[in-house]
A and B are shown apart, each in its own frame.
Chain A
Amino acid sequence: MNKTILKALIGLIVLAALLAVPRYVDSPYALHMMILLFLSVSQGQSWNILGGYAGQHSVGHAAYFGVGAYTTMMLMHAKQVVPWVGVWAGMAAVVVVALIIGSICFRLRGPYFVLASIAVAEIMRLSAINLTTLTNGAEGILATEIPAFKIGETVVTEFLTKVPFYYIGLFLALLTIAVTYWVQHSKLGYYFQAIREDQDAAHSLGIHIAVYKNIGLVISAVLTSLAGSFYGIYVGFVDPPTVLGLDVSVQIMLICIIGGMGTLWGPVLGSLILVPLSEALRSNMITDLLVKIGLVSVDSKVGVFLKENLAHAHVLLYGILVVLVILFMPDGLMGFVKKLAARRHREAV
């Protein structure tokens, strides 16, 4: 009992601290990093529900992320629809896409779902490139101004600083964590885990496998679409490779794999590792650090090479991380930590 109270207390303190951050932190860069972190948590957590709990590893979540982002942005750009309304259209579009994919793939076993999920994401990406009248093709959609949300004459929301984005991002991250928690502790979640562990056994116990896989897919897709809409509005720009590319799908998946699939805190842990790491690469922090400790000099060939190229190397890093995690910690960091703890416990006994 004490442990639960302690946990709740820690949770409340962290939440209060997170809520208070914009009051005391002015640096837009720090807020930006926090927003990226929230975005990553919500992406990872959405994937976790389908991939981690129901065991259906989608390598095409960019489809939902991108369709959400594009729908909101297209409506905002062409029809001045406020994002608060646009996100619902995005979610509706994603539900349609998800159900089409689900009804095709979930009758099959084996690698078919993975293959089909990639194919669908590619279809979406190519469509975004080719449907130029709707999506502005490869150039993407740039939205310089977000229309303010007004009821009558009173302005309800404006997006002039990073602060509202911070709170929306925080809300999104908490929402996805809450949904995951709910899934983990509900009948639905037990069904998911039964399907993940043994389809035949689950089926023989009377669980309608295809139906529950589809439910998992829709929950996961809708949440990913929310994250996509949020990303589109926050960055103010979407184009096919940045929201619909294979990299996006891999990155979403990677958050969970590194942290630990099928655990509540895995995606949070994964985000805490991945976001700072890719930011450090992107902003050349790692090169600067190597220069500072004197490992490489700025003017040497190696130094110039690193400076020019390491900024683009974050996808290479994703690749290396995937390989290392799969080979050495297939259950992710959470699994690794749990195993260590279990071993300690056994030794202590």
Chain B
Amino acid sequence: MAVFLQSLISGVLIGGVYALIGIGLTLIFGVMRVVNFGHGDIMMVGMYLTYLLFTLMGVDPFVSVLISFPLMFLFGGFLQKVFINRVLNAVAQNQILLTIGLGLIMSNTVMLIFTSDYKILTTSYSSSTIQAGGGVSISTPLLISFLITAAITAALGWFLMKTDTGQAIRATAQDRDAAQLMGINVSRMSVIAFGLGAALAGTAGALISPTYYIFPQVGGTFTLKAFVITVLGGMGSVVGATLGGILIGVTESMSAVYISSGWKDVVVFVLFLLVLLFKPSGLMGKSRT
């Protein structure tokens, strides 16, 4: 029972971070109908940014979120304005290929600069745990990152629901043409949405860097996981992505414990195929095509 609880809790905690990556992807998809295949690589850039801030200036990874969030927002906005914006009306395949290409450029540029060695970011609390009673212990960095994730998700929810810009973003996601007719600057909203998506991915990268290996190719797996999460939750749904993230986190940690850690990603991908087979509109969503 203790083992079960243990893996459930760590699954939920890591799932929170996955949710952040998934929300970014789903936001971009919702507003632009572009599936961003470079999403994991954007997260990877966030990891290296955190690593640099930590090794060069001694900024704590969790504090560095304050710096990396705006920087990654600008980076995302730049990518949207220079590249993605040009293919908004192109066929879906070209959009996918473009983002794959951008992802390859990011990961291989980072590889040229930092080599493909695995980097580890060791903080004083990297391996510390909190005893929760009943033989269950909680990893401190995972707990902190989960709390930060929850705060960011809540703030994002408030931003999307309550502010004018947030409402304009949601309107653009609902119907681009109608939003434009209502006087919403949809191309500005696209830049903001992509910036936010990149910032969320970058933040997720910062949050997992104390507990994860940092290497240039780390993004690929996360891109795929982000897809699994968004498809699970229904493409374009922020609430769905949050639940999907936690579900994937739990699935992963359970299968690591009860099957083997080598197969945990396989379990996630098989789950993905099963969802496509039986409920392609996602566990939460209605299909919108």
- Establish whether residues B97 and A246, one from each chain, have CB atoms under 8 Å apart when the complex forms: no
Of chain B, the residue at the smallest CB distance from A261 is B93
Mask of A248-277 contacts with B, CB within 8 angstroms, 1/0: 001001000100000000000000000000
A167–B101 Cα distance when bound, in Å, is 34
- Establish whether residues B266 and A108, one from each chain, have CB atoms under 8 Å apart when the complex forms: no
Q: Which residues on A sit within 8 Å (CB–CB) of B220? A: 246
Q: Does A127 contact B (CB under 8 A)?
A: yes
Mask of A307-334 contacts with B, CB within 8 angstroms, 1/0: 0010011011011111100110010000
- Establish whether residues B289 and A110, one from each chain, have CB atoms under 8 Å apart when the complex forms: yes
Q: Which residues on A sit within 8 Å (CB–CB) of B131? A: none
Q: Does B90 contact A (CB under 8 A)?
A: yes
Q: Does B42 contact A (CB under 8 A)?
A: no
The stretch of A82-90, A117-125, A204-212 in contact with B is A117-125
Q: Which residues on B sit within 8 Å (CB–CB) of A107? A: 280
Given contacts A116-B273, A313-B112, A316-B112, contact A327 B87 (CB under 8 A): yes
Contacts of A144-158 to chain B: CB distance below 8 A: none
A266–B96 Cα distance when bound, in Å, is 20
Q: Does A186 contact B (CB under 8 A)?
A: no
Q: Does B262 contact A (CB under 8 A)?
A: yes
Cross-interface CB contact of A104 among B97, B112, B260, B273, cutoff 8 Å: B273
Q: Does B162 contact A (CB under 8 A)?
A: no
Given contacts A110-B289, A116-B276, A119-B269, contact A316 B105 (CB under 8 A): yes
Cross-interface CB contact of A322 among B98, B228, B269, B270, cutoff 8 Å: B98
Given contacts A315-B108, A327-B86, A330-B90, contact A115 B266 (CB under 8 A): no
A93–B102 Cα distance when bound, in Å, is 33
- Establish whether residues B262 and A129, one from each chain, have CB atoms under 8 Å apart when the complex forms: yes
- Establish whether residues A104 and B277, one from each chain, have CB atoms under 8 Å apart when the complex forms: yes
- Establish whether residues B108 and A313, one from each chain, have CB atoms under 8 Å apart when the complex forms: yes
Q: Which residues on B sit within 8 Å (CB–CB) of A116? A: 272-273, 276
Q: Which residues on A sit within 8 Å (CB–CB) of B87? A: 326-327
Q: Which residues on B sit within 8 Å (CB–CB) of A119? A: 224, 227-228, 269, 272-273
Q: Does B111 contact A (CB under 8 A)?
A: yes
Q: Does A130 contact B (CB under 8 A)?
A: yes
- Establish whether residues B111 and A312, one from each chain, have CB atoms under 8 Å apart when the complex forms: yes
- Establish whether residues A126 and B265, one from each chain, have CB atoms under 8 Å apart when the complex forms: yes
Q: Does A111 contact B (CB under 8 A)?
A: yes
Q: Report the interface size for chain A: residues with CB under 8 A from the other chain.
A: 41
Of chain B, the residue at the smallest CB distance from A126 is B266
Number of residue pairs across A and B with beta carbons under 8 Å? 113
Q: Does B94 contact A (CB under 8 A)?
A: yes
Q: Which residues on A sit within 8 Å (CB–CB) of B109? A: 316
- Establish whether residues A123 and B93, one from each chain, have CB atoms under 8 Å apart when the complex forms: no
Q: Taking chain A's interface residues, is the majority helix, strand, or loop, or is none over half, making it mixed? A: helix
Given contacts A316-B109, A323-B105, contact A59 B273 (CB under 8 A): no
Q: Which residues on A sit within 8 Å (CB–CB) of B83? A: 323, 327
- Establish whether residues B262 and A253, one from each chain, have CB atoms under 8 Å apart when the complex forms: no
- Establish whether residues A315 and B265, one from each chain, have CB atoms under 8 Å apart when the complex forms: no
Q: Does A114 contact B (CB under 8 A)?
A: yes
Q: Does B159 contact A (CB under 8 A)?
A: no
- Establish whether residues A122 and B101, one from each chain, have CB atoms under 8 Å apart when the complex forms: no
Q: Does A105 contact B (CB under 8 A)?
A: yes
A257–B93 Cα distance when bound, in Å, is 11
Q: Does B100 contact A (CB under 8 A)?
A: yes
Most chain A CB atoms below 10 A, which of B97, B102, B103, B262 = B97
The smallest beta-carbon distance between B266 and chain A, in angstroms, is 5
Given contacts A57-B96, A126-B262, contact A112 B105 (CB under 8 A): no
Given contacts A111-B92, A122-B265, A130-B263, contact A316 B270 (CB under 8 A): no
Contacts of A216-260 to chain B: CB distance below 8 A: 246, 250, 253, 257
Cross-interface CB contact of A123 among B98, B101, B227, B266, cutoff 8 Å: B266
Contacts of A14-35 to chain B: CB distance below 8 A: none
Q: Does A109 contact B (CB under 8 A)?
A: yes
Q: Does B104 contact A (CB under 8 A)?
A: yes
A315–B263 Cα distance when bound, in Å, is 28
Q: Which residues on A sit within 8 Å (CB–CB) of B266? A: 123, 126-127, 130
The smallest beta-carbon distance between B286 and chain A, in angstroms, is 14
Cross-interface CB contact of B269 among A123, A129, A257, A330, cutoff 8 Å: A123
A130–B102 Cα distance when bound, in Å, is 30
Q: Does B231 contact A (CB under 8 A)?
A: yes
Report 29 cross-chain contacts, Cβ distance below 8 Å, ordered by A residue: A57-B93, A59-B37, A59-B96, A107-B280, A112-B276, A119-B269, A119-B272, A119-B273, A122-B221, A122-B224, A122-B269, A123-B266, A126-B269, A130-B263, A246-B220, A250-B100, A250-B104, A313-B112, A318-B101, A319-B100, A319-B103, A319-B104, A322-B104, A323-B98, A323-B102, A323-B105, A326-B98, A327-B83, A330-B90
Known A-B contacts: A112-B231, A126-B265, A316-B109. Give 18 more (CB < 8 A): A55-B93, A57-B93, A109-B289, A110-B289, A111-B35, A114-B35, A116-B273, A118-B224, A119-B224, A119-B228, A119-B272, A122-B265, A316-B105, A318-B101, A319-B104, A323-B101, A326-B87, A326-B94
Q: Which 6 A-B pairs have the closest CB atoms?
A: A319-B104, A322-B101, A316-B108, A319-B105, A323-B101, A130-B262
Residues of B within 8 A of A (CB): 35, 37, 83, 86-87, 90, 92-94, 96-98, 100-105, 108-109, 111-112, 220-221, 224, 227-228, 231, 260, 262-263, 265-266, 269-270, 272-273, 276-277, 280, 289
